[in-house]
């Protein structure tokens, strides 16, 4: 008799294609893409990344704010797509990268502004969600 594997973890979450991906790939400015697609984790992650790559002195509070919006938009999207608060979110699945990049940028910005508990929580969450994303983005 075969039944469900009660010891298995949750299945990987694979998000649908981000509606902002095409505009960003075409070179549209992240600010314009966020205005057109405020629900897009990828747009917010790109805006945060742009702020992190900015002028000589990075305004990490701005990076933190953009990344936090992307993170919260991601949580909503993850839950709508069957995620139960834990489990793999594979880096290899391109539409997941908005969430994973937002989380990594949030961790980095938290560390930069001295929010050590947030850095620990977010970097551990990233590692647990996708070891490959952790290696790529924070490792």
Q: What average pLDDT does this structure show over 6-35? A: 94
Predicted confidence (pLDDT) at residue 1 exceeds the cutoff of 60: no
Looking at residues 85-96, what average pLDDT do you find? 97
Given a contact cutoff of 8 angstroms between Cβ atoms, the answer to whether 102 and 45 are in contact is: yes
Q: How far apart are CA 100 and CA 83, in angstroms?
A: 14
Residues 122, 103: contact at Cβ < 8 Å?
A: yes
Mean pLDDT, the chain, as a whole number?
Answer: 94
Q: Ramachandran region of residue 42, left (φ > 0), alpha (ψ -120 to 50) or beta? A: alpha
Distance of CA 27 to the CA centre of its chain: 20
**Residue given tokens 């969450």 in the structure block:** 125
Contact predicate 37/20, CB 8 Å: yes
- Do 96 and 15 meet the contact criterion of CB atoms below 8 Å apart? yes
Output the pTM of the full model.
0.92
- The answer, yes or no, to whether residue 116 has pLDDT greater than 90, is yes
Please report the pLDDT score of residue 54 as a whole number.
Answer: 73
């Amino acid at each position: 008799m075969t039944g469900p594997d009660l010891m298995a973890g949750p299945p990987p979450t694979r998000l649908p294609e981000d509606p902002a991906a095409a505009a960003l790939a075409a070179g549209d400015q992240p600010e314009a893409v966020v205005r057109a697609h405020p629900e897009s984790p990828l747009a917010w992650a790109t805006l945060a990344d742009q702020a992190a790559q900015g002028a000589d002195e990075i305004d990490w509070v701005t990076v933190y704010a953009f990344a936090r919006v992307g993170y919260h938009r991601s949580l909503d999207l993850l839950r709508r797509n069957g995620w139960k608060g834990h489990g793999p979110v594979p880096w290899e699945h391109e539409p997941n990268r908005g969430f994973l990049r937002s989380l990594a940028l949030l961790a980095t910005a938290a560390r930069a502004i001295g929010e050590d508990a947030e850095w620990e929580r977010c970097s551990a969450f990233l590692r647990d969600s996708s070891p490959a994303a952790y290696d790529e983005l924070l490792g």
